[in-house]
Amino acid sequence: MSRSSDPSPQQRPPSVDRLARSLADTGLPHPLLVDAARTAVVEATAAGDPASAGSRARVLAEDTARALLTDVVNASGVLLHTNLGRAPWSPPMGDDRRYTTLEFDLASGSRGSRQDGAPALLARACGAEAAMVVNNCASAVLLVLAALAAGRGVAISRGELVEIGGGFRIPDVMDQSGARLIEVGTTNRTRIDDFSSALASHPDVALTLSVHQSNYRIEGFTETASVADLADLAVPVVADIGSGLLDAACPWLEDGPPSWLAGEPAARQTLEAGAALVTFSGDKLLSGPQAGIIAGQADLVAVCAAHPLARALRPGSLVLRSLQDLALAYLARDGQNIPFWRMATTPVDELRTRAERIAPELAADTVAVPGGGTLPGVEIPSAGLVLAGDRVAELRAGTPPLVARVADDATVLDLRTVHPDDDGIVAAAITGLVPATTPAGPTAHDEA
C-alpha cells in the first residue's frame, strides 16, 4: 500500500478505548461507553469520515443515557399516564443497610407471611375479610381463575369479554388459567336469566365473572346483570373492577367523591353487593405501585394464596412496603398524602395561580383526564400554560424531561399533574425554549 493512501493521523479514527474514556463525563459505565465508541468508529470509518467518530460516539452515548428509566415531569394532564408508570409513587426505602420484616414475625421470631401487612390493611380499608397482593391486576384475575375454576366453567357476559390494553384479553387469560369460558347473553344485553340458564345447562360452572368495561362504554339499548343479581345465583361472583377505587364514598377526601367519579365501581360497595372476591390494580385509582389486589372472602383468598401460581406472582418488599404506606394513608383518611387524589382534587384556582406565577402571558384553562384506561370520557377542569406550535419534542429533550401534549397546534402544559415543587422546572423549561420562528401574525390561539 502506498504511503500516500495511509490516513493521516488526523483522519485515523481514535482508538476505541481512548474514545470511550473521553465520554466518561456522561456518567455511564465504561463497557457501555466502549459499545458507543466501537459503533461510532465502525460507522465513521464506513462513511469515509474517521474524524466524525468522536462526535458520533457522544451522540450514541447520550442516546444510551436517555434510554435509561428516568424521572420525568408529567405536564400532560393525564393523571394515570400509562406510559409514565400510571400513578406516581416513590420507593419507600432509600437505605441499603436495612432488612425488613417481609416474612418475619417480630413477636415470635419465627417465619411470618408477606401477605400479613399491606394486604390486611387494604382489606380493612375496603371492608373485605381478607386480601392478598400479586404482581398486577392481570395476574390477580389469572390466579383467581386458576385457583377457583381450573378445569371448570366460568360464566361471563358477552359484553364483558374485553381487552383492557397491552394484550390483556379476558378470553386469553381464561384460557391460560385452565378455566373454560362460558359466554352468556349478547354484546349489548345480558340479563340475569341468561346467567340462570347458563348455570342450569352447565353444572360444572365454578363462578361467575363480572369485568368492568374500564376503557370503553356500550351506550344505547343495553342491559347488564348487576353483581347483586349475580350474587343470588348458586356460585360465587368474582368482580374484576380494575381501577382500584376502594370506597365510592371516598372518606379520604374532605369533600367526598368528586362528581366525575360517578358510576365507577368501588371495592367496598362491590363486596357489599355480594361479590365473593374483587380484583383491582395497585397503580390506577388506588394510586400506588404496580400491583394486583385480590380482596373478599377469607376462605377464597386462602385458596388463591395456596395455589402454586401465587408464589410465581408474589410481590417484593418494595411494593408491599409502598402499599402499606398507601393503605395507612387511606385508613387515616389522608387523601392529601395519596398522589392521585391530591392531584385530582386540587382546586382549579390554585392551578391558575401557579400558572400565572410561572408565565402570566401563557396561563390558560385546560382539561385534565384521569387516564390509565379508567373513566373514559371524564374530563377534570384544570389550568396550565399554552404555547403556540408543537414544542413537545424540545420539552422532552430537557433535564429533567418534561412531557407535555399537543392540542390544536398548540403545546399544553397542564399543571394538575405537576407537583408544585416542580413549577420552577416548568418555568425554566419554557424560558429555555428557543423562540418559535413562525412568522408573526394572528393565529387561531392568540385569543385563547
List residues binding ligand PLP (CB under 6 A).
136-138, 164, 168, 211-212, 214, 240, 242-243, 281, 292, 373
CA atoms within 13 A on the CB side of 212: 26
For the CB of residue 194, give the shortest distance to ligand PLP in the complex, in Å: 21
Q: Please identify, using beta-carbon distances, which residue of 213 and 336 lies nearer to ligand PLP.
A: 213
- Please identify, using beta-carbon distances, which residue of 241 and 344 lies nearer to ligand PLP: 241
- Cα separation, 332 vs 327, in Å, equals 9
Exposure on the CB side of residue 98, measured as CA atoms within 13 A: 10
Shortest distance, position 132 Cβ to ligand PLP, whole Å: 14
We find the least distance from the C-beta atom of residue 417 to ligand PLP, in angstroms, to be: 19
Report CA torsion sign: 192, 194, 199, 205. negative
**Lookup: cell for 150:** 381450573
How is residue 157 written as a grid cell? 357476559
Shortest distance, position 174 Cβ to ligand PLP, whole Å = 13
CA 386 to chain centre: 26
Question: Using CA atoms, how far apart are residues 393 and 76, in angstroms rounded to an integer?
Answer: 13
DSSP E strands, 224-342: 237-242, 277-281, 292-296
Q: Which residue is nearest to ligand PLP (CB)?
A: 242
Burial class (CB in 10 A: 0-12, 13-18, 19+), 432: exposed
At its nearest, how many Å lie between ligand PLP and the CB of residue 144?
Answer: 11
Tell me how far CA of residue 144 lies from CA of 34, 314, 396, 432, in angstroms: 48, 13, 41, 52
Q: What is the DSSP string of 198-236?
A: HHHH-TTEEEEEEE--TT----SS-B---HHHHHTSSS-
Q: Which is nearer to ligand PLP, 146 or 402 (CB)?
A: 146
Smaller CB distance to ligand PLP: residue 265 or 384?
Answer: 265
Alpha-carbon torsion (106, 107, 112, 116), positive or negative: negative
Please state the closest distance from residue 170 (CB atom) to ligand PLP, in A: 8
Alpha carbon distance 329, 30 (integer Å)? 43
Please, what is the minimum distance in Å from the beta carbon of residue 375 to ligand PLP?
Answer: 10
CB of 373 vs ligand PLP, minimal distance in Å: 5
> What does DSSP assign to residue 18?
H
Query: Pairing state of beta strands 363-371 and 380-388?
Result: antiparallel
